[in-house]
Structure 1
Amino acid sequence: MTGAVLSRPRPRIAVLGAGHTGPVIARVALAAGYRVSVAASGDPAKIELITQVLAPGAEPRWAADAVKDADIVVLAIPLHKFAAFDPSSVAGKLVVDTMNYWPPVDGVQELFEDPRFGSSEIVQRRLARSTVVKTLNHLGYHELEDERRPAGSPERRALGVAGDDSGAVDVVAQVIERIGYDTVRLDSLRAGRLLEPGGPVFGVPLRRSEFEQAVWVEAA
């Protein structure tokens, strides 16, 4: 699956979620040259105006149609809705998990309360037929557009990309780099805990070397 995606210069992206985060991700992906569709839980007509205003050029679609045609599915739904999310809807897909479990904000969510696992590990266990990669969760949606910088800029911020499938991590890292960020690859979803609320890089603007040092010190 990831091999086929790697062979395409611009994979098609489906963003699931039309709240705060989804339209911003769609907008920056469009600016980087990707084809993007946006879907919410119902009729795309309900998000057509939102899409036109916040992500002009993105196509509002039914979720099933958006996912079917996508190479990468970005999961940007409110975390409390994940328990009702249908795993079969993204079976066989590369899924980017941008969600965070943050009880002070989300309240206690029983699905994510198992201390043995990070939130994306729990997402992967539920989406067992998908390949999950964690990223874009550790900077605010309001920063995602403004913090972009061209490759080589001394001000270019780094983002972590974590996953158990190295090919999938490479695919997603390439997207992040084209959007306007350096990437630091973490070789497991378990290591993705470092990107979560309370982790050493959550909400902290770091250059690549600083980011690497922060996660390596924490993991040591």
Structure 2
Amino acid sequence: MIASVGIVGAGRIGCALARLALAAGSDVVVAGSGDAARTAATLALEAPGAQAGTVAEAARCDVVILAIPLGRYSELDSAVFDGALVVDAMNYWWELDGARPDLDDATTSTSETVQAHLAGARVVKALNHMSLYELDNLAFPSGHPERRGAAIAGDRSDDVATVSALIDRLGFDPVPAGALADGVRFEPGTEIFGADEDAEEIADMLARFWDSQRGRVVARARASAQ
């Protein structure tokens, strides 16, 4: 049982995840970018029952989800996340984040970059490729014929299992994608991103990544770096 879920980010995705976690029976703490009063007002409208808190309070939950623009990852105080199980649901958008060589490096995944910054945390990549529509409208109980799949990547099997259990409780079928380095297979610009497909098709898309243009670029870059 995942008793508590922390969410860093009180935007549309953060609030959607808060609603799902509340519906799954977890206590939810959301840390927004503004003061707690403003976040509380947002949650009263968008995710009633969720508690506004600090980033440190969110990080003390059983699982903490990062739902802010990826370009802001370096603003996070790494010490706050020491020992935390962190779900990286962030994405890099050059239109918003600007040109960022640290986030556009084909030799690594963006979640590995996040893990390097949050050195004392255990980072798992998940939930980033799912659309707001999917989170709001396509969460179903296990076994439902319309249930969608959610890719998950991580380096520690026990943490992947914990986050997979959370994804299942949120209403989606977890689809193992490999180690954190394999998170590159469901970053923005990949076939899977925003696809809103079932688990079988998500798995097929992950398998097809290395035959895609982006997959070939990544493969060449990683081979050259070795």
Equivalent residue, structure 2, for 1:65: 57
The one-letter code matched in structure 1 to 2:178 is: D
CA shift, 1:142, in A, is 3.4
Task: Tell which deviates more after alignment, 198-207 or 173-182.
Answer: 198-207
CA shift, 1:41, in A, is 3.7
Aligned counterpart in structure 2 of residue 40 of structure 1, from 32, 38, 45: 32
Cα displacement string for residues 50-70 of structure 1 (whole angstroms, at most 9, x for unaligned residues): 0111110111112222323x1
Aligned counterpart in structure 2 of residue 207 of structure 1, from 194, 198, 211: 198
Q: Which runs of 5+ in 2 are unaligned?
A: 212-226
The one-letter code matched in structure 1 to 2:41 is: L
- RMSD, aligned CA: 1.6
Cα displacement string for residues 37-85 of structure 1 (whole angstroms, at most 9, x for unaligned residues): 11124531121110111110111112222323x1111111122222222
Aligned counterpart in structure 2 of residue 195 of structure 1, from 186, 192, 195: 186
Give 3-state SS (helix, strand or coil) of 2:112's partner: helix
Q: 2-side partners of 1:62 and 1:214: how far apart?
A: 37
For these two proteins, the number of residue pairs brought into alignment is 211
Give 3-state SS (helix, strand or coil) of 1:89's partner: helix
Q: Normalised by the size of structure 2, how large is the TM-score?
A: 0.87
The one-letter code matched in structure 1 to 2:43 is: T
Paired residues of 1:166 and 1:187 also in contact (CA < 8 A) = no
Aligned ranges 1:163-202 → 2 under 5 Å: 163-202=154-193
CA shift, 1:219, in A, is 4.5
Equivalent residue, structure 1, for 2:221: none
Give 3-state SS (helix, strand or coil) of 1:112's partner: coil
Aligned-pair identity in percent equals: 39
Q: Does 1:12 align with 2:13?
A: no
The one-letter code matched in structure 2 to 1:140 is: S
Aligned ranges 1:135-174 → 2 under 5 Å: 135-174=126-165
120 and 88 in structure 1: CA distance in 2 versus 1, 3 angstrom threshold: same
Aligned counterpart in structure 2 of residue 100 of structure 1, from 91, 107, 112: 91
The one-letter code matched in structure 2 to 1:47 is: T
Aligned ranges 1:119-138 → 2 under 5 Å: 119-138=110-129
Paired residues of 1:133 and 1:168 also in contact (CA < 8 A) = yes
Cα displacement string for residues 133-168 of structure 1 (whole angstroms, at most 9, x for unaligned residues): 111110122331201122111211101011111111
Q: Which runs of 5+ in 1 are unaligned?
A: 1-8
Cα displacement string for residues 75-121 of structure 1 (whole angstroms, at most 9, x for unaligned residues): 11122222222111111100000011132443212431332111111
Q: 2-side partners of 1:71 and 1:146: how far apart?
A: 25
Give 3-state SS (helix, strand or coil) of 1:129's partner: coil
Q: 1-side partners of 2:79 and 2:198: how far apart?
A: 38
Q: Normalised by the size of structure 1, how large is the TM-score?
A: 0.90
Paired residues of 2:10 and 2:33 also in contact (CA < 8 A) = no
